[in-house]
Chain A
């Protein structure tokens, strides 16, 4: 499948917008959102959605890295990974392999962003100097510069990824069958990292019953996700309303009652 120049530009604009959205805090720099957009632009929404789901779960934990470090960027799977998944669907690349193949890009983009933040450090100096001159326009220009750099960087990454997708395609066709199968298997395992990272941050000792609750609801009961959320809400509210008198022991009681109900 070839990508027209118009589609390249659209993907570039979409990537620029999504990356800038990371600074706006509007949650566009997420695999789920980006992949759906690329899917729409390339006319293959189902693959875009599937890629978005797999990538989102794999990268979910990276969004919460602590200590101000920049995590691998979801543009890897969200933009490049989705382009790979859609254009190379016929050559045996599934979303799992596309996720694994796109990881180096995610790391590369991470470095680009770190570099942008580092160079942007000069902006403060520019702003001070502008204020010394009472040049308030200059001040505002400096205060909005990072976002424009982000939009430009996003555009270049999206456009470049789409434009050279044929080169990418050739490169990937050299990959032997066992490797792409293996990468597909790895791709299905990668979400474990995202889940483990997020659980590492969220799951305190007193939340262990909820870990079990989620496992039971899916593995044994096969509930749909909404059902799991409602079930979790119900138990959370019970704990909340009884927190005053039951304390910690109540959490366990709820869990026992629930297991009896199966």
Chain B
């Protein structure tokens, strides 16, 4: 029976199977299939000669499940620890479902709202300068960090059990706070760099000494504040999203129509 006991390796292996969490994604039970599939090898080992128990365990875990796939190892590790300690299925399920939401929140805010935009903007600006390092850096940095997150959360779940979640989310909050400060700085900086709107309007002004001078509106705009037009336009879009709750389709259509119309009228270039 000793061989049926899960080793640390089994926990790490299950954690790495987080990559397969969405392999069966569907609108019916979201990651439910994937969750059962993630546990499969570990369950197979636990119930080596008992197909009935394996069948029951898999069926129990086919229900709806949806969380962040980089933080899910925390749940699966905890799940397996409890299973090995003969925790009742009902309790395991309630913990699994209770953790699903908070971990999705922490994970999404870290991966999607901090890391991805940060590395994407850095990568894009390197790519803009023709450097292949741009996409490479983005891809490698994202995956290295998220792989570490998977293994670490898996090991945390394994070692520390249920009472860790409170302190973990506290630490995550600090990290994600700092990351969003950096992220917001970089993103707003790049917004004014990448959104390019200039105006070609010029007019001829008569100077007092009968000379004529060509005045470019763009120079006047620059004197007020550099990159003013991109800032104003981004601000307008921000307002439409935040206050008017416009959908992205409307925004894209507005932008394309505005771009074509104003360029035909020679107001912007």
Contacts and interface: CB of A to CB of B under 8 A. Distances in A.
B28 A57 contact: no
A201 B195 contact: no
Interface string B229-269: 01101100110111000001101100110111111100011
B13 interface: no
Q: Is the interface of A mostly helix, strand, loop or mixed?
A: helix
Given A50-B128, A229-B185, A139 B58 contact: yes
A128 interface: yes
A108 interface: no
B62 to A, nearest CB: 6
B120 A23 contact: no
B186 A214 contact: yes
Interface residues of B, number: 101
B123 A131 contact: no
A7 interface: no
A187 B19 CA distance: 35
Contact of B24 (A134, A145, A187): A145
A190 B191 CA distance: 11
Interface stretch (A84-92, A160-168, A175-183): A175-183
**Among A32, A144, A145: residue with most chain B CB under 10 A:** A32
B116 interface: yes
A223 B24 CA distance: 45
Given A50-B130, A143-B34, A201-B113, A60 B135 contact: no
B122 interface: yes
Contact of B230 (A57, A60, A145, A192): A192
Contacts of A226: 122
B25 A146 contact: yes
A152 interface: no
Q: Is the interface of B mostly helix, strand, loop or mixed?
A: helix
B196 A219 contact: no
A197 interface: yes
Contact of B117 (A60, A128, A140, A183): A60
Contact of A210 (B19, B188, B262): B188
Contacts of A196: 191, 234, 237-238, 240-241
Contacts of A100: 256, 259
Contacts of A239: 181
B107 to A, nearest CB: 10
Contacts of B256: 100, 103, 183, 186, 190
A32 B25 contact: no
B99 interface: no
Contact of B40 (A140, A185, A201, A219): A140
A219 to B, nearest CB: 4
Given A50-B128, A121-B28, A207-B180, A229 B186 contact: yes
B185 A228 contact: yes
Interface of B: 18-29, 32-34, 36-37, 40, 44, 51, 54-55, 58-59, 62, 69-70, 108, 112-114, 116-118, 120-128, 130-132, 134-135, 138-139, 142-143, 146, 174, 177-178, 180-197, 225-227, 230-231, 233-234, 237-238, 240-242, 248-249, 251-252, 255-256, 258-264, 268-269
Closest 10 CB pairs of A and B: A186-B259, A182-B260, A232-B185, A214-B189, A120-B26, A214-B188, A121-B28, A143-B37, A236-B181, A195-B191
15 contacts: A26-B143, A30-B138, A49-B131, A64-B112, A120-B26, A127-B24, A188-B197, A189-B255, A191-B191, A193-B255, A200-B241, A215-B189, A229-B186, A232-B184, A233-B178
